Homo-oligomer: A and B are copies of this chain.
Amino acid sequence: MADPAQILRERTADAWFDLAVQRTDVLLLDHANCEKKAASTALALMFSYPEDFDLAARMSKLAREELRHFELVQQRLAELGVPFRRLSPSRYAEGLRRALRREEPGRRVDLLLCGALIEARSHERFMGLIARLPAPLAEFYASLAAAESRHAGLYQRLAARGGLDIGPRLGELAAVEAELATAPDAQFRFHSGTPS
């Protein structure tokens, strides 16, 4: 399988990883939120395009996998005794949402391409975390990483169905994504930018 990071325009800064290693409590709490949100995004696609059985079947399976990951992250939080707290979301998802085209069929393509970018960014950060975190957490992230990579490929293939050339639009959205993931950011989250 191709490295999903190939579609990302910028690599995550080392400073983000340095902070993540120090703030594993926030990392895991926000990671749980992200898995839940990923399931909800897949479900939203099923509700928006119910006539597309192929899309619905794939999104349903993907949502089940995200939910399973959510359960595993929650178990890890419980094992580590991390007290729950509500975290405000990062600017990332909202920033991508603003870049979506409003009209069909563009909106659907954009939703799928953003799905690919989010999964690719998650995979890139997982890989960096695996290299830097202590063994138990590194192994945990290693156990989840393959799915993110598969999901990134799935979203790209779904966007490209019917022979659509997704290259130009993917490039535009990747530029937005890269800015959100790497511009200075006062907040630390799973998808936050470079610590400012």
A43 touches B40 (CB 8 A): yes
CB-contact partner of A63 in B67, B77, B84, under 8 A: B67
A63-77 contacts to B, CB under 8 A, are 63-64, 67-68, 70-71, 74-75, 77
Instruction: Decide if A96 is an interface residue (CB 8 Å cutoff).
Output: no
| Interface size class of chain A, counting residues whose CB lies under 8 Å from the partner chain | 20 to 34
List B contacts of A95 (CB < 8 A): none
Q: Which residue numbers of A lie inside 8 Å of B, CB to CB?
A: 33, 36, 39-40, 43, 46-47, 50-51, 53, 56-57, 60-61, 63-64, 67-68, 70-71, 74-75, 77-78, 84, 86
| Given A67-B63, A68-B64, A74-B57, A84-B40 contact (CB < 8 Å) | no
